[in-house]
Structure formats: structure tokens, C-alpha cells
Amino acid sequence: MKKTQFKLGGYARYGELSAMMNHIVYNSPSSESFEVHWAGFIKEFELGQNRWLANLYANRRKWVPIFFKSEFWAGMRSTQRSESMHAFYGGYLHCKSGLVQFVHEYDNVLGNKEQKELEDDVVDSKGVIPCIGSTCIERQFQQEYTSNMFRTLQLEVRKKTDCVVRSKFDPLSRKSRCECNKFESVGILCCHILAVCSYYRVDTVPSCYVLPRWSKNVIRKHTYIKSSHDVARSNETHNLFKHLCSEFYNVAQDFVACDEEAAILRAALSDAKSRLTDYRASMRSTTLDGTQNTMPTQSTGGVILHDIQGPSRVKTKGSCRMLLTFT
């Protein structure tokens, strides 16, 4: 579509042609509708002999949105494979970065991405995005979805009052199917389905519409896998940390239901922190000399780290020659 002006700009009615073509490609409600309107478009502007449009039509199932709207894309929009890579390394590498810098920066990128995930988890656990309405369905997603995905859903909630309903609804199973296929392709309920649920006074949507992919209550098991950023931490320390976190969450979930209980827990944590600080200070003063004699200069968790060096340069005479051996 970006080549439309280059390929068809010479036509006298190019402005009208381009507007009609874009409307057919991006606003066709069904594949049958696209076929009918495309044929009318070609006939009206007498473009039957245009090879470029003929090739586009032959490959229509690969680029016209209506033909793959029912496919789940998990929010991916880019059509260029390199764009996702540029976004991943943005701010870390440039066109003149060397191999050694790439290896070091790759580890930094992974560490920052992991830190960003942890920060998002903290935000989702502490803060709650307020509902814009009083429906039970919105509160259902408020409790399940992450902050970013709940904001995306709220955009559809705002649009449901002014949308034209194009959904089919089954009152018994409370399942809907919409022509826009937004849920099938993006994983978020569209304003049309939300409007139908509101009309039939549906309190909660079936679990099939609440994707675990967007849930903040899902335990992501990959976060328990030890990575290169944990190389200085022993397995025993890592396990102790996980067990303590689990015990703290159990206490907080079972007993902290009001300000008085929260104050008791804060007081206990403050007392435990001061006792641990005194204990660590006493241990440091009594074992400092022994620790300096027994501990290595750099703790690597049993892994020997080598500095990465670039390849050595070899001086050659004359121009480079490539030797090919055939067997």
C-alpha cells in the first residue's frame, strides 16, 4: 500500500482512487464484501490491465487484514522482522557497534528487561486502576488483568455506548462472536461484545474471554530459573529468598485485612530488620579477618569469568585472496 502513489499516481482521479482503495482494504467487514467491492473498484477505474494491482489481488490473503483477522497475533503489529530487533536493542547498540560491545550490551539488555518486568509486577501488585463504570464485567477484568491490558480494555468500555452492534450472542453459554474479530486477533473483548453483555445484563464473562496471557495473577515459572544475572548468588541463597517471600505473601494475604493488622506486621518487620542488622554487624566484626583469607577476590558462584577480547589482527601483504578447495 505504500507504493500506491508511485504505481498509480499518474491517474487523473488518483485522489478518489486511493481513498476508495484504502476503504476497501481496511474497512471491509468480510472477505466476501472485499471481493465484491474490489471487483467494482477495478471496473470503475478501468484498472483491469494493471499488473501491480493484479499481483496484489493474487496475494490478497497475505496482506488484506480481513483474511487473517481471526488469527491471534498477541498484539504484534510490525510487518518487518528487523523492527522488533531494533526496538529490543534501542539505546544500546548502533551501526558502528563491534562484536565485543554487542556481547556486553546484550547482557545489559537482558538485565534491564528483567528489571522492567519486576517493576511492572510490583506496580500491578500494589496499584489498582479505577473502573470508569459500575459494571461487574469491568471489575472482573480489573482483578485479573495487568494495568496495561486493563487500560486497553477500558478503551473498548468507553466506546461501547456509541458503537453499532455486530455481534451474535448465546444467552445460555453467554458466548459472543463479533464480525470485527478483535478478540480472536488481539485477545481483548471489543466494544460490540461488551455492549451486548450490557444489554443482556451479564455480570461476568466466561473464563474463555479472560486470557491467562494478560493476567497479573499468573505465576510466571521462568522467573524462578537462575540466569546469568544471578551468577553471584548461590542456589541456597536463592531458595531461601524464594521461601521467605512465599511465607511473607502467605501472612500478608491471610491476615492483613485492615490498618490495625498491617500496623502489627510493619512493627514485626521493623523489629526483625533491626535485629538482623545488629546480627550482621556482630558477625562482620568477628569474622572479618577469616573472611578475607578464605574468600576469593571476586565471587563468581563457581563460574570463571573471562574478559571478552576482540579477534587479533594479522598483518598480510598485498590484497586479500580467497582460497577455495574442491573435493
What pLDDT digit, counting tens, does each position of 95-134 carry? Answer: 777 888 877 788 788 778 777 777 777 777 777 788 888 8
199-224: average pLDDT: 80
10 Å CB burial of residue 249 (0-12, 13-18, 19+) is exposed
How many angstroms separate the CA atoms of 163 and 196, rounded?
A: 11
Query: Is 70 exceeded by the pLDDT of residue 33?
Result: yes
DSSP 145: B
What pLDDT band is residue 322 in, cutting at 50, 70 and 90? very low
Please list, in sequence order, all residues whose beta carbon lies within 8 angstroms of the beta carbon of residue 123, skipping any fewer than 6 positions away. 147
**303 grid coordinates:** 563460574
Query: Is 90 exceeded by the pLDDT of residue 37?
Result: yes
Q: Would you state the pLDDT for residue 233?
A: 47
33-41: average pLDDT: 92
**145-154 confidence digits (pLDDT tens):** 888 889 999 9
What pLDDT band is residue 85 in, cutting at 50, 70 and 90? low
Find the range with the poorest average confidence among 62-76, 139-153, 189-203, 249-263: 62-76
**254 grid coordinates:** 491471610
Q: Would you state the pLDDT for residue 299?
A: 41
**216-242 confidence digits (pLDDT tens):** 877 665 555 556 555 444 556 667 777
Mean of pLDDT over the chain: 77
Residue 34: count of CB within 10 angstroms of its CB:
20
How many angstroms separate the CA atoms of 181 and 133, rounded?
A: 24
Q: Quick check: 168 and 176 in contact, CB under 8 A?
A: yes
Query: Is 60 exceeded by the pLDDT of residue 215?
Result: yes
**263-273 confidence digits (pLDDT tens):** 898 899 899 99
Q: Quick check: 189 and 206 in contact, CB under 8 A?
A: no
Phi, psi of 135, rounded to the nearest 5 degrees: -80, 150
Dihedral sign (CA 47, 48, 49, 54): positive
In DSSP terms, which residues pair with 215 in a beta bridge? 145
12-21: average pLDDT: 88
What pLDDT band is residue 319 in, cutting at 50, 70 and 90? very low
How many angstroms separate the CA atoms of 9 and 123, rounded?
A: 50
Q: What sections of 145-204 are H helices per DSSP?
A: 147-159, 182-186, 191-199
Q: Would you state the pLDDT for residue 176?
A: 87
Dihedral sign (CA 59, 65, 70, 74): positive
Phi, psi of 169, rounded to the nearest 5 degrees: -125, 135
Total number of residues shown for the chain: 327
**278-310 confidence digits (pLDDT tens):** 888 888 777 555 544 544 444 444 444 444 455
pTM over 0.75? The answer is no
